[in-house]
Amino acid sequence: MDCLAAVFRDIDLPLSIEPIVIDEPGATELLVRIAAVGLCRTDYHVMRGERRVAMKPMVLGHEAAGIVERTGRQVVGINPGDHVVLTFIPGCGVCRWCRQGLHHLCAQGPRITQGPQLDGTYRRRDREGVAVGSFCMIGGFAEYAVVDRASVVVIDKDVPLDLASLVACGVPAGVGAARYRARVKRNDTVLVVGCGGDGMNVIQGAQLCGASQIIAADIVPAKLVWAREFGATDTLEQQGEELTKAVLALTDGIGVNHAFVCIDPPATLLPAFRATAKAGNVVVTALTPDTVSEISIPPLELCVSQKAIMGAVYGFASPRVQIPELLSLYRQGTLKLRELITQTYRLEDINLGYADLQAGKNLRGVVRFDT
């Protein structure tokens, strides 16, 4: 069948809005009609050549929710009409990590920048018949996606699908970083550097964990206003050494128990590290362009301060566990989702959406297909 897609054709080109041909799902796959897809910065890193993918053309988009249209013959337990959230790391179910329930560490994860389906073949072609890849084995910037069942989590139908798309990436990434990676405890103090999609959800997560002080730092003043609405107790516009000093001033010279690096680690990791208390945690959720190979941390400081620097992808917990959990917190009124969406776009306007993200106008822009 034909469907409209936003196709990544080359670095620094706008996404090409064009019809592609999408094939029937294979035995373990499903055809999903995409209802909403978030404009996450990760796709932008690909468009800028900062996160390399193995092939072009490719349909980007990995923060998607939709409705199952058709299922392959080996798919059980997922049916046409089911509402689903797509996971940007598949859970193959059989690797050593998946067998322990650690789907965010699935052995197939490193393949998400390659382009083909989980089985190594393609389901998308352009008008010239050239194979088109799908980023994260999802390809959510399109009206339809064929995905393996390993990338699918069925959700209850009461949650609007534009809100459901948010729990595909940014919300679990941020909330999970606080809950499952740093394991923020009641009355802990927290610093969040970069109040975008991940950072705002770290703030929400830290608040859920009972943090007593949540310091939000960003260079865009509007984001600091939003940060307070999401639970930040203090906000800072400083960067670099000035940021470290300001955090120390707010914490009796001690530093925070947990610092989260949610934007530009080459510039923010060291100031965040130095704003962290002895024995504290520094969690990196933001991607660094793969053109940057090193970030300096003085090793003596690392040793004597006894701090931990750790990475987190997908909030360091299985999306199969987190997605239903987060939707339940939303229903209880303890997790904000609607407030995260600052602008919606048609697929045709997706490049405007990314320009808005880059201009600091959006917390989360979402492409909706029903408008």
Q: Return residues touching Zn ion (CB under 5 A).
A: 40, 42, 92, 95, 98, 106-107, 169
Shortest Å, Cβ 197 to Zn ion? 7
Shortest Å, Cβ 310 to Zn ion? 19
Shortest Å, Cβ 76 to Zn ion? 18
Cβ proximity to Zn ion: between 42 and 114 the closer is 42
d(CA 4, CA 22): 10
Cβ proximity to Zn ion: between 98 and 341 the closer is 98
Shortest Å, Cβ 187 to Zn ion? 31
In the chain, the N- to C-terminal Cα span, in Å, equals 21
Shortest Å, Cβ 96 to Zn ion? 8
d(CA 86, CA 137): 9
Cβ proximity to Zn ion: between 105 and 275 the closer is 105
Bridge pairing between strands 16-22 and 58-59:
unpaired
CB 342 within 8 A of CB 360: no
Cβ proximity to Zn ion: between 54 and 107 the closer is 107
CB 17 within 8 A of CB 59: no
Tokens (6 digits) for 111: 């393949």
Cβ proximity to Zn ion: between 201 and 233 the closer is 201
Shortest Å, Cβ 144 to Zn ion? 20
Cβ proximity to Zn ion: between 40 and 329 the closer is 40
Q: Return the beta strands (E) in the chain as ranges.
A: 2-8, 16-22, 29-38, 58-59, 64-71, 83-86, 124-125, 131-134, 144-148, 152-155, 189-193, 213-217, 234-236, 256-261, 276-284, 308-311, 341-345, 364-368
Single-letter code of the amino acid located at 351: N
Shortest Å, Cβ 27 to Zn ion? 18
d(CA 23, CA 145): 9
CB 366 within 8 A of CB 192: no
CB 168 within 8 A of CB 64: yes
Cβ proximity to Zn ion: between 106 and 138 the closer is 106
Cβ proximity to Zn ion: between 32 and 106 the closer is 106
The DSSP-derived string for 7-48 is EE-STTSPPEEEEEEEPPP-TTEEEEEEEEEE--HHHHHHHT
d(CA 3, CA 66): 15
Cβ proximity to Zn ion: between 277 and 341 the closer is 341
38-63 burial, b for 16+ CB within 10 Å, e for fewer?
bbbbbbbbbbeebbebeebbbbbbbb
Point out the residue whose Cβ comes nearest to Zn ion.
40
Cβ proximity to Zn ion: between 92 and 347 the closer is 92
Instruction: Check whether the bond before 57 is cis (ω within 30° of 0).
Output: yes
Single-letter code of the amino acid located at 250: L
